[in-house]
Amino acid sequence: MYLAQTASTLVIDRAILLQRFILENMSNIKPGTSIQSLPRVEKLEFADNVNYLLTACSQNVEFFSKDTSEYGKKFVESFRSLEDNLPTIQDLVYEVQNKVADYDYENVKGNGLRSLIRIAEVVVARTKTIAAEIAESRNSYFFRKESYYKKLNAYTQAVQSTLTLFEYAKHLISWSEPGKLIPSPTKEHLVSALMRQVGKPINQYCFYGRCLGIQFCDSIAMIFKTLLILMASFSEMYYSDGKLLDPVLKSGKYLYNPELRAKRVVNISQYGSVNFCKSFWLLGEIEIMARVHSMLNTLPICKVISIEPVPIVVPKTGCESETVTVSPPTAHKGLAPLEVRLLSCSKRFGMTGDEHEDVGVKMPSDELVIHCHGGGFIAQSSRSHETYLRQWATEIDAPIFSIDYSLAPECPYPRALEECFFGYCWALQNFDKLGTTGNRIVLAGDSAGGNLVLGITMKCIEYHVRLPDGIFVAYVPTVLRFVATPARLLCLLDPLLPFGFLLGCVKAYCCSREEFEKSLIHEEKLKIDVGTPADSVITSSTTPSDSVPPPPASTVQEEMGVQDEVPAQEAMEVQEEVPAQEGGAEAVVQPGPKPEEDPVLMTIKQKDPGVFQRMVSSLTSALANVGKPSVSDRDRLMQEMKEETFKICPDDMLEFDIVSDPWLSPLMADDDILGQLPPVSILTTEFDPFLDDCVELAKKLKRLGNVPTLDVLMGLSHGFLNFSQVSKEAAEGSSLCATRIKELLRSDASRAEEL
């Protein structure tokens, strides 16, 4: 165990060094910096792009047919594959486009089908650009066949995968009632049923390699390139069988080889556990937060409050003489204190605990924002969400009360919901400690936190506790049953929330311990993959034979360009993938100071030992249990990986279901409950896997007489709030969130002014 603890500390040290290097590159990114000089797709007609691309393909086929070299033949086959697939995808896009407006909420143009059309537009436009570059450069003496072929091949795969996405979408349209994005939550409409009916697996590798993040604005795409390089590198350390030095030295390869990075990330999505996700996301509370906090405005009030687990008595709504006793949470771990964080841009009476302090102290605010953070129910905290909470505190100028609920899988449902409701009730009885009169309260949450916010409000209705005056939710999952929707198909190309991560989070929070532990059995394959040449793991063709015409390649290694060694030419191309400072590669692999001498680690341990301890504990557990599989097990696992190359995850991972519980899936709640919700404001993005959840929630609330606002932001991702300090577009989105919260807080005043 001592060796495991030492090793886990060293893993954190190495990961932080790599993260620090990557963050230094990120600091050079200016908002609006273009990754590739491509006109915005809105300015281009989809049909014109398809026709142009078909013409370019024909001309390139004619040219490369005269080239008898290996790459000449590959160019011909790739362009012919595009010629085969483009007319089909154009027909499918038009078929869906004719129906897409029926699924919108009022005049807000946003739903999962529109997002898939947008993906098709972007993929075709980017492929057109590459085909044009090849046509322009092919006669040049300096034309690099291998480099251009890798680019072309990646986008040829992307076109083919997009076609498959639309075939999935057609099935989903047939499953649902006209105008509805989410089918009835039955076993016949789960993701596993969709995969079986369509019968065509999708090639995800292209969307995590050279096509990574093409659907997002430039600043978000660059962030995701950075994060996935870090994720792939961190996974080498996490699954290293205790041999830390070799994976640390080799982790720089993911900077230079996008195909190898894609292979590793897809494998992590297929086989990685929630424990890996927790460990990786905890890095965000160490180095990233240490740096981001230094860039944030200092708040006079940012403190943690510990709430003791004792019953709380609150007034019963509708009857002032009666009270309701709310018991402290007990599920899964018994009685325990609940920590919350109070943030404010102004000192107000009661916040500091010093009744005699009055210099610069303001009167209590009439407003209060109660916040639940996101993180898939398994990770993050109010601290890691300070990136935008500080901005909100400043722009709203009201105290923010953020709840640090217990996380799955250690504390699955209903612990988090119980704690959030308990924290809400405590706030109702302790306004004087929070610097507020509590006249106006808004509940706010993003992602998993948004789900909990809706749950808190429904608990208030059930217990007859005072309701909040408004609800703000961002990219919220409202149906946690694994029902397929058009927007959830976006998980197949989402860098932050790939399909396997979503699956793991849902199982960790919603399923029994036995069901959750079944999902861990495939993790051994990631240990096999470490140090194993790519071509020895995957040797099948890039697309199953029953799929649409495949782009040519004899092996996945050939197709994806995967190799463990980084050739000089590949190193020359790194600038096209991730901007690196001179000497950057050496910065990744140079041995760093010992953990006890690292000033960043010392600061973390001193200022927030809890975060560091959680990281060490998680990695210690992982490293203590590693073991090199036997030769027979290794052969078996490698064979399984070959067979699962194009599966989103092993088949047995999809064989589960979640009960239809309104506390888990608020959209499924009875109309008489949802009809009592206060005013609601919903914000999401066009590429959010939960976009359809948000749209259907807005539709249902409107039908019940509660007309919500719905904002669908373009070019941003699920979880964009966490990037508000490094992306101009994300910062603007965060500011819009603050505006919507202010509108909810001050809606009565606005109505009074109108009168």
Nearest CA-CA partner of 472 in 664, 676, 686, 683: 683
Provide the angle, in degrees to the nearest 10, between the axes of the packed helices 218-238 and 728-745: 100
Residue 436's contacts (CB-CB under 8 Å, 6 or more residues apart) are 348, 364, 365, 366, 367, 368, 398, 399
End-to-end CA gap in the chain: 70
Q: What distance separates the 2 farthest-apart alpha carbons in the chain?
A: 91
Displacement of CA 666 from its chain's centroid (Å): 21
702 vs 700: CA distance, rounded Å: 5
Nearest CA-CA partner of 578 in 215, 20, 35, 38: 35
Query: Does residue 409 have a cis peptide bond before it, meaning omega lies within 30 degrees of 0?
Result: yes
Q: Would you tell me how many other CB atoms lie within 10 Å of the CB of residue 666?
A: 28
Q: Are 738 and 395 in contact (CB under 8 A)?
A: yes
453 vs 372: CA distance, rounded Å: 7
Our answer to whether residue 447 is catalytic in this structure is: yes
Q: Would you tell me how many other CB atoms lie within 10 Å of the CB of residue 632?
A: 8
Three-state SS for 706? coil
DSSP codes of every residue in 312-355: EEEEETTEEEEEEEEPPP-TTT-S--EEEEEEESS-BTTTSS-T
555 vs 658: CA distance, rounded Å: 38
373 vs 626: CA distance, rounded Å: 32
Q: Are 342 and 302 in contact (CB under 8 A)?
A: yes
Q: Are 53 and 82 in contact (CB under 8 A)?
A: yes
- Catalytic option among 384, 447, 724, 734: 447
Nearest CA-CA partner of 108 in 698, 693, 674: 698
For residue 316, what are the β-bridge partners? 319
Pairing between β-strand 338-344 and β-strand 301-307 as defined by DSSP bridges: antiparallel
Gyration radius of the chain over CA positions: 26
* Residue 253 identity: K
Residues 725-728: contacts with CB under 8 Å, at least 24 apart: 725/292, 725/295, 725/296, 725/387, 726/26, 726/29, 726/219, 726/223, 726/292, 727/31, 727/217, 727/219, 727/220, 727/223, 728/31, 728/32, 728/219
Give the Å distances, CA to CA, from 272 to 132, 268, 282, 503.
Answer: 39, 5, 16, 11
Tokens of 112: 């999962």
* Residue 173 identity: I
Q: Would you tell me how many other CB atoms lie within 10 Å of the CB of residue 462?
A: 11
Q: What angle do CA 426, 380, 452 make, to 5 degrees?
A: 45
Three-state SS for 535? helix
Three-state SS for 291? helix
Displacement of CA 394 from its chain's centroid (Å): 26
Residue 347's contacts (CB-CB under 8 Å, 6 or more residues apart) are 300, 301, 357, 360, 361, 362, 435
Residue 438 φ then ψ, to 5°: 75, 20
Give the Å distances, CA to CA, from 704 to 467, 472, 709.
Answer: 18, 18, 14
Nearest CA-CA partner of 721 in 692, 741, 745: 741
Return the active site residues.
447
